[in-house]
Amino acid sequence: MTASVETMLARAEALSVERGVALTPLRRQVYELVLKAHKPIGAYDLIDAMEPQRGARVPPTTVYRALEFLVENGFVHRIESKNAFIACCDAGKPHESQFLICDECGATLEIQGRELASSLSASPPAHGFQVHHQVVELSGLCADCQRKHRDA
């Protein structure tokens, strides 16, 4: 992600106002923590990170509701295979994404790819299947981890 955390937060606030939805302080805090993680982060890791800031443990349902809002509004993506969340690389702009996930270090890269999404969605209707949600996650080793294995 190339934009700063502050830029992404400002963009989310502007989009929320534009859409008439509330980016509450809690939702903003959850989004900021996801942005700062720079890799998929789980709800319970978010709860642990929020506790010192709030002085009390935030209930899991509260964090999950905030994450649901962030997903629905395109600010974060859910990484299904990790049951974790990552900031969207292009928040607010509708797009289809695929994710490259390193098995070793957890680095996750969002790649936009309308062509792949269209191709994958083309065959289900021929089988009488209607696609509602598509998730493409590819796991392997990132370039840094590959280099570490070669150098070892």
Delineate the domains of the chain, giving CATH numbers in brackets: 5-87 (1.10.10.10), 97-151 (3.30.1490.190)
103 and 139 in contact (C-beta within 8 Å)?
yes
DSSP state of 1: -
Half-sphere exposure of 61 (CA within 13 A, CB side): 0
User: So what's the pLDDT on residue 34?
Assistant: 97
68 and 46 in contact (C-beta within 8 Å)?
no
Query: Between vectors from CA 6 to CA 111 and to CA 87, what angle results, nearest 5°?
Result: 30
**Dist. CA 50–CA 59, nearest whole Å:** 11
- Tell whether pTM > 0.95: no
pLDDT in tens, the chain (152 residues): 467 999 999 999 999 999 999 999 999 999 999 999 989 999 999 999 998 887 888 999 999 999 999 999 999 999 999 999 999 988 877 778 899 999 999 999 998 877 877 787 777 877 888 887 778 899 999 999 999 999 98
User: So what's the pLDDT on residue 83?
Assistant: 94
User: So what's the pLDDT on residue 2?
Assistant: 61
Give the residue among 115, 107, 112, 117 at the shortest CA–CA distance from 143: 107
Which pair of tokens denotes residue 110? 């969002």
Chain center to CA of 68: 11
